[in-house]
Amino acid sequence: MAEIKADPFPFRLDRGAVALIVIDMQRDFTEEGGFGASLGNDVTCVAKIVPDVRRLIEGFRAAGLPVIHTMECHRPDLSDLPRAKRERGNPRLRIGDEGPMGRILIAGEAGTAILPELAPVDGETVIEKPGKGAFHATPLDDILKERRIAQLVFAGVTTEVCVQTTMREANDRGYECLLVEEATASYFPEFKAATLAMVRAQGAIVGWTAHLADVLRGIAHA
């Protein structure tokens, strides 16, 4: 066991049972012309974490630890898209509509792709998820159990929606969860701050938070 400096107390890392989950680092959420921008958001707020997410991914790869990527996307016929989700909010472009990078959040479209600088390499798992949480309607839990993964380190966007939802799903399933502060972001900085406080409240009721440098140091010495 190695300890990672974390809040609210050190995270005891089990090298043989940990994986990195990178949530939805897709063009549709980080670039102009994508779904995030169509909702009126400033995508630079989330795009700025790309270098730190890349450092985290590279650290896990260098340590020989598994990296799992998620992509929020739907079938071309929209059969897995609830009406309530498609109609939510007031975006310029709704899920399934044709946008500058193809149909919004549809599997196989250019905008749905993970950013090239964070792209999965051979052997890394990619989970296509129709919901905010990565466990809903996906094989993620089965994959983790098959690999005897019990601890999850999280990065990605957005902190308060897909990242937090997946952390809470994981927590309910018995996984220990750690969120890397510099490697997650929201379109609303105050939402990120509130989420970090919520997940580590009451003795890590949902999980731990830690700084990137401490996580990289911990996995390198595990």
Catalytic amino acids?
24, 129, 162
Tell how far CA 100 is from the center of its chain. 24
- How many angstroms from the chain centroid is the CA of residue 161? 10
Residue with tokens 């919004």, as numbered in its chain? 104
Buried b (16+ CB within 10 A) or exposed e, 97-112: eebebbbbbbeebebb
Instruction: Give φ, ψ of 165 to 5 degrees.
Output: -60, -45
Whole-number Cα distances in Å, 78 to 51, 93, 122: 33, 15, 29
DSSP character string of 151-199: EEEEEEE-IIIIIHHHHHHHHHTT-EEEEEEEEEE-SSHHHHHHHHHHH
- The Cα 192–Cα 102 span in angstroms is 29
- CA 157 – CA 128 distance, rounded (Å): 15
Query: In 10 A of CB 8, how many CB atoms?
Result: 12
Strand-strand pairing, 125-129 and 67-72: parallel
